[in-house]
Amino acid sequence: MSEDPRNLPEEPQDQDNPEEPQVHPLDQPPGAQSQPPAQPRIEPQRVAIRLPQVTPYVTYGLLGFTIIIFLLQMITEFAFDPRLCPWFEPGSVFSTGDLPACYGLKDNGLILNGQLWRLITPVFLHAGLLHIGFNMYALYILGPELERHYGSWKFLAMYLVSGFAGVVASFVLTEAPSLGASTAVFGLFAAQGVFFYQNQRVFGPRARAAFFSIVRLAVINFLIGLTPGIDNWGHFGGALGGVMIAWVGGPIYQLVGEAPDLSLKNQRDDGDFILAMIATFILAALLAGGWIFISNP
């Protein structure tokens, strides 16, 4: 008995592409079966990251304190007899009435005679408006961001120890009297460069661009420091101190959370920073002490 062809079951067809012929697996070319299906392309997303929020009280405090000291320098220079300075000598750096500079600038002979405070007090003294203007502008630009990432007390410690390291380098390597916050400022420059170098993975192209910009600025300032009257050894010592502190104890961030709600976590703790600070301070102090010992047989 014959069947009506209209009642026969239909052959199953590919629902996605019914007109495409079916190929038996044995008829496919070698390797075709092992090819993975094409993966959808994932476009990179730009997400906002919450940065540490710290009001830069230390930066503002350093700015205010240094400016007050400079005003005292100006007032005493015009209001007091230069001979009030115990080390007054006509034609020398002690030939003006600037009493803060008289008791605080870096003078190798007086340091060798026991006035060790002169290894840190020059950081807060300046020789003129242009001098203090440049240094305070640099502190105003660099300070808030570094204080945000380091925290206030760490930033203050780094500023002071970098300045101390710079004055020690100047004390050992040059006889010229000197003063100025540039030893500490160069420490901040160096610490900023190390920060961006060590956090390129998190901040990406912005960190690399900032790092090379800081390197260029540092090179330009070191070249300017070759001119007479500028203590480049102090700059070098301050920068070296900043590098040592930041390399060992500076923040290294990792991303935590899920996009878009990402935040930063510092992989280093306070112990790393304290170790870096103590090591840098001790090395600078040993260098100064050794030079004093050699110079005073």
Active site residues: 182, 235
Q: Respond yes or no on whether the N-terminal peptide bond of residue 260 is cis (omega within 30° of 0).
A: yes
The span from the CA of 52 to the CA of 49, in Å, is: 10
Backbone torsions φ then ψ of 10, nearest 5 degrees: -75, 145
Among 225, 52, 263, which residue's Cα sits nearest to residue 131?
225
Sheet arrangement for strand 261-266: 49-50, 261-266, 253-258
The span from the CA of 148 to the CA of 161, in Å, is: 18
CA distances from 67 to 56, 102, 137, 140, 159 (A): 17, 17, 12, 12, 16
Which tokens sit at 66? 């240094």
CB-CB contact of 118 with 101 (8 Å): no
Length reported for the chain: 297
Give the distance, in angstroms, between the CA of residue 97 and the centroid of all CA atoms in the same chain.
37
